[in-house]
Amino acid sequence: MIKKFLHTVKALFTSPTKFFESLGQGNGVLNPFFYFLSIIVISGIFNAIWSKVMLKNMQNFMNQFSGSMPQGQSLPSMNQAMMNYSFTGAFLRTVIFGTIAIFIFSAIYHVILMILGEGKNGFENTLKASFFGYTPNLLVVIPFCGGIIGYIWAIVLTIIGLAKLQETSYGKASVAVLAILVLCCFIGMLAALGMGSMATMFNQ
């Protein structure tokens, strides 16, 4: 099983187009789902580790900074954050919310494909594209920058997977995947504008 897992990871990193073409139709989503769970468990462990390291470094920095502050003043928020930090909690949040999110995102991808007149190969293949497309998140093992690189690469890999498994163009697959990012950015901008307007009202 480990050998097969490593072979799949290598194939998705080195020749993703060939890998998705070799999957074909059918065969169910159980094995791809277990593969995804393996990926998210590994990434969840390292996410929790790097989060703890980052909080610890920020705590040390804040303690040094607070040492130069006038007597009686302190920065307790970082110390409180460290006290409240739970490795198990951070790990479980990554695994649970990540698993829920991938099903939700896959459903949205599929709906958008259907709107575009695609998705004829069924939701099963959209799920497989998402499960295998999550693979680059393993790069979170590289501290700090690995998670960002992995996230971007996962988007590209999911687009390739959708294009091949749903037998559609890269353009339509890109629209299905990137539409969520555009929507999130739009919502974020609206939230920022709303908060800015509220702050302005309170300051008047």
Q: What is the per-residue pLDDT across 117-162, written as a single tens digit (0 to 9) for each? A: 998 999 999 999 999 999 999 999 888 788 889 999 999 999 999 9
Residue 196 has pLDDT above 70, yes or no: no
Ramachandran assignment for 180, one of left (phi > 0), alpha (psi -120 to 50 degrees), beta (any other): alpha
Count Cβ atoms within 10 A of the Cβ of residue 104 and give its class: 0-12 exposed, 13-18 middle, 19 or more buried. Answer: exposed
- As a whole number, mean pLDDT of residues 101-116 equals 94
**Residue 65 confidence (pLDDT):** 58
Give pLDDT tens digits for 14-39: 999 999 998 876 678 899 999 999 99
Ramachandran assignment for 62, one of left (phi > 0), alpha (psi -120 to 50 degrees), beta (any other): alpha
- As a whole number, mean pLDDT of residues 39-51 equals 89
Tell me how far apart the alpha carbons of residues 184 and 170 are, in angstroms, rounded to a whole number. Answer: 21
- Give backbone dihedrals phi and psi of 178, rounded to 5 degrees, phi first: -80, -15
**Residue 87 confidence (pLDDT):** 77
Name the DSSP class of 70. P
Residue pair 113/176 in contact (Cβ under 8 Å)? The answer is yes
Which pTM value belongs to this model? 0.79
**Residue 81 confidence (pLDDT):** 55
Question: CA dihedral defined by 172, 35, 25, 128, rounded to 10 degrees?
Answer: -20
**Residue 85 confidence (pLDDT):** 65
**Residue 73 confidence (pLDDT):** 46
What is the number of structural domains in the chain? Answer: 1
**Residue 165 confidence (pLDDT):** 94
| Residues of the domain holding 158 | 2-69+78-203
Tell me how far apart the alpha carbons of residues 157 and 17 are, in angstroms, rounded to a whole number. Answer: 9
**Residue 160 confidence (pLDDT):** 96
Q: Which of 49, 54, 53 is nearest to 88 (CA)?
A: 49
Give pLDDT tens digits for 63-89: 665 555 454 444 555 555 555 667 788
What's the maximum distance between 2 C-alpha atoms anywhere in the chain?
69
- Tokens 């989060």 map to which residue? 51
More confident residue, 105 or 85: 105
Residue 169 has pLDDT above 70, yes or no: yes
Q: Which of 10, 6, 17, 26 is nearest to 162 (CA)?
A: 17
